[in-house]
Amino acid sequence: MDIELMINSFPKLLNATLITLKLLSVSLILGLFIGLGFAILRMNNNKLINKFAYGYSYIFRGTPLLVQIFIIYFGLGQIEYLRTTILWVVLKEPYWCAIIAFSLNTGAYTSEILRSAFQTIKPGYLEAGRSLGIPSKIIFTKIQIPIAIKQSLPAYGNEIILMLKGTSLASTVTLMDLTGVAKYIISTTFKPVEVFIVAGGIYLFMTFIIHNVIKYLEKKYGFQT
């Protein structure tokens, strides 16, 4: 055990954790909007729209995240036309490519979580709201959304933890996130166990925090339905 290496690498790894957290938070926020959008499309009565939303979530859930990042980072740059548009400013940065891939991926999982949450809302609540003459927009924001949040919290908490682990793939497109820096230190010092303990410890600490925040929220939203 090389304790000195562990102490020396800790600040470097902690610094890299900032990038991991940035990637995680930005892609979770974007993913939530994408997920909500596709969940609403999934509940549409139009078969074509429904199939489209299902196809999206099927493709993103059925392929590895690594493939998705590689298609976006290495693949899209190949299209000559894209290089001339304003999109290229975003797509040439590995940081944004990773964020796009993560958001689309977590969006697919989130849409499934939200859809099942919306579908488990008892129709009686909506009927009650409608018969009281509440406008459908308010039924959506004041009745459907709070119940859906409560229903989807446990599954969404898992998704956040999966996404935290997913951000490690950013290191494959040259980003120096926590895993990227850990790999760099391992390959220069050849002390995998020590670095694994420190980096893994940081990841476990983050998982622990997320787990407890979700638990707290579950309590807060734990009203009876």
Partner 1 sequence: MELLYFGDKGWGDELFFATLMTIAVSITAMIIGFIFAALFTPLKLSNNKFLNSIGNAYTTVIRGVPELLVIYLFFFGGSGAIMFVASIFGYNDYIEINAFLTGSFSIGIISGAYSTEVFRGALQSIDKGQFEAAKVLGFNKYIYFFKIILPQMLRLAIPNLSNVWQITLKDTSLISVTGLVEIMRQSYIAAGSTRDPLFFYSFAAVLYLMLTFLSMQLLNRLETKYSKGY
**What residues line the site for partner 1 (CB under 8 A)?**
58-59, 62-68, 70-71, 74-79, 161, 164-169, 171-172, 179, 182-183, 186-187, 190, 192-193, 196, 199-200, 203-204, 207-208
* Neighbour-count burial of 40, counting CB atoms closer than 10 A to its CB (0-12 exposed, 13-18 middle, 19+ buried): middle
Task: Give the residue with the Cβ less far from partner 1, 8 or 136.
Answer: 8
Q: What angle do CA 111, 205, 207 make, to 5 degrees?
A: 15
Task: Give the residue with the Cβ less far from partner 1, 50 or 158.
Answer: 158
Task: Give the residue with the Cβ less far from partner 1, 147 or 160.
Answer: 160
Instruction: Name the minimum Å distance from CB 125 to partner 1.
Output: 29
Instruction: Name the minimum Å distance from CB 78 to partner 1.
Output: 5
Instruction: Name the minimum Å distance from CB 2 to partner 1.
Output: 13
| Helix-helix angle 192-220:178-189, to 10 degrees | 160
Task: Give the residue with the Cβ less far from partner 1, 141 or 187.
Answer: 187
Instruction: Name the minimum Å distance from CB 66 to partner 1.
Output: 5
Give the span between the Cα atoms of 57 and 150, in whole angstroms: 22
Q: Among residues 84, 111, 218, which one has the least CA distance to residue 157? A: 218
Q: Among residues 144, 109, 108, which one has the least CA distance to residue 124? A: 144
